[in-house]
Amino acid sequence: MSITLDLTGRVVAVTGGTRGVGAGIARAFLRAGAQVLVCARRPPAEPVQEAGRKAGFTAVDLRDPAAVTAFLDAAADRYGRLDVLVNNAGGTPFRLLGAAEDAARHLRVLELNLLAPLTASLAALPHLRRSRGSVIMIGSVSGTRPSPGTAAYGAAKAGLANLAASMAVEWAPDVRVNTVVPGMVRTELSHLHYGDEAGVAAVGATVPLGRLAEPEEIGAACLFLASPQAGYITGAALTVHGGGERPAFLAAATANHPATDTHDASGTPGTTEEN
């Protein structure tokens, strides 16, 4: 039995939806028939499109609450409704907390990954209440475990999951709020984190499913949570990480018996891309 998720007539806004995971999310909703609007600070090199349809683009600095509100209000005014907000924009450079640098840099990471989704969700709330829509937060496995080198990012993503759970309670029954928690995702920027194809394959081998996720797979999870089939799901965190990271003790236990363990269980980079 096949299940078709049809969101024809629905209006979806995806922050940071011009590349990487965000573009994969936007394409999933375009494929399902939704009208999709994406925003980022800079326009994409080429339009985000799928199934012969294009996502609309607006340049927005998500750290500017007035600009975020204007973007979402304009979307609702133009199409007469707003059904889904996907808070995808985020990310961080590798930056140790003990490095001799301005703490404001860490604060900017918190602002983009935690405060900006809060600002956007509040701006979207009146429109989502009218449509009985939903908010989807894009979290990260960095928010579920220690995140050395990206500590502010991990803290922000942990806070984001808690924020979503609280929103789900406060805004029920009119608006559903859920979190998708991706692991490592293969995007056009993967080489910056993992090197060449051999590096990507080596990192993917540390995941039980043997590879990194594709952006469209994160999009598929978002599409499900936004669909009527998930109508009784709110306050949930859906982990999409291919089984997570192989426990280090397995590598230690099989160190003298390599034939019994075909995976490279070395550590993985401390950040995921675009989420």
Sequence-distant (≥ 6) Cβ neighbours of residue 231 within 8 angstroms: 176
Determine contact, residues 176/233, Cβ cutoff 8 Å: yes
pLDDT single digits (tens) 18-66? 999 999 999 999 999 999 999 999 999 899 999 999 999 999 999 999 9
pLDDT single digits (tens) 179-214? 999 988 877 666 556 667 777 787 777 788 888 889
Q: Residue 264 pLDDT > 60, yes or no?
A: no
Q: Residue 251 pLDDT > 90, yes or no?
A: no
Sequence-distant (≥ 6) Cβ neighbours of residue 219 within 8 angstroms: 21, 24, 25, 26, 27, 28, 29
Q: Residue 263 pLDDT > 50, yes or no?
A: no
- Per-residue pLDDT, 100: 60
Enter the DSSP assignment of 261: -
- Per-residue pLDDT, 151: 94
Whole-number average pLDDT of the chain: 87
154/139 Cα distance (integer angstroms) = 9
Percent of the chain with pLDDT over 70: 87
- Per-residue pLDDT, 207: 85
**Token pair in block for residue 20:** 């990487």
User: Can you give the pTM of this predicted structure?
Assistant: 0.87
pLDDT single digits (tens) 122-163? 999 999 999 999 999 999 999 999 999 999 999 999 999 999
- Per-residue pLDDT, 209: 85
Domain spanning 11-260: CATH superfamily: NAD(P)-binding Rossmann-like Domain (3.40.50.720)
